[in-house]
Amino acid sequence: MTSVNLTAAAKPLADVPTREQMPGMHGKFLHSGSMTLVYWDIEEGGSFPEHAHPHEQVVNMLEGELDIVVDGRAHRLKPGDVLAIPGNAPHSGRAITRCRILDVFWPIREDYRFA
């Protein structure tokens, strides 16, 4: 299993399996009753193409620098930055350095449930 359903019991993040979602983008996928959380480890130069989804997304920068374009507006995110991406807003990005990011999606991303 490469995604985990969260319960009221604590779960060590180290025990959550990692999945390479795209080249250079490794994620730990967790689901609560109404949200999906992804802890990303993105290699320097790793990128994701422009895309959109109906889910609201909050990007929490933990480490590194990420260039991200949301609805045509460019942002450079650094540790401690938080960026909300509205549902259906086109966005793309590229890691300037190795990045650690926590993405929170609402509602649950069913496409991020893996067997």
Residue 12: phi and psi, rounded to 5, are -65, 125
The gap from C-alpha 83 to its chain's centroid, in whole angstroms, comes to: 12
Q: What is the pLDDT of residue 88?
A: 98
Q: Is the pTM of this model over 0.75?
A: yes
Along the chain (115 residues), what's the average pLDDT of each consecutive run of 10 residues? Answer: 80 94 96 96 98 98 98 98 98 98 98 88
What the chain holds in terms of domains, given with CATH numbers, is: 29-106 (2.60.120.10)
| DSSP code string of 57-78 | EEEEEEES-EEEEETTEEEEE-
Q: What is the pLDDT of residue 1?
A: 59
Q: What is the pLDDT of residue 47?
A: 97
